[in-house]
């Protein structure tokens, strides 16, 4: 696996992982009882995107390391 292929694979794994991590820990405005006028009641109060980006990066790195190990070990 060359560097460009590795980066592309990590990018795909990162985005898939992000979509899996996004729903965790979200409280809607309706659940919090703090609906701002003119907004959707289902909108998150505090999405915490930076924290989720860091968590996503760590999980994606672990998954990528496993895929890379299999790639190198079995010479796929």
Alpha-carbon distance of 13 to 19, in angstroms, equals 10
Contact 74, 67 (CB under 8 A): no
pLDDT at position 36 is: 86
pLDDT at position 31 is: 86
User: Which residue ranges make up each domain of the chain?
Assistant: 3-74
pLDDT in tens, 30-67: 888 888 888 888 888 888 999 999 999 999 999 999 99
Task: Judge if pTM exceeds 0.85.
Answer: no
């Amino acid at each position: 696996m060359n560097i460009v292929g590795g980066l592309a694979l990590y990018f795909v794994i990162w985005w898939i992982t992000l979509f899996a991590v996004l729903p965790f820990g979200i409280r809607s405005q309706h659940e919090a009882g703090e609906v701002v006028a003119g907004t959707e009641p289902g909108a998150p109060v505090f999405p915490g995107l930076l924290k989720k980006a860091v968590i996503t990066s760590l999980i994606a790195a672990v998954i990528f390391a496993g895929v890379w190990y299999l790639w190198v070990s079995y010479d796929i």
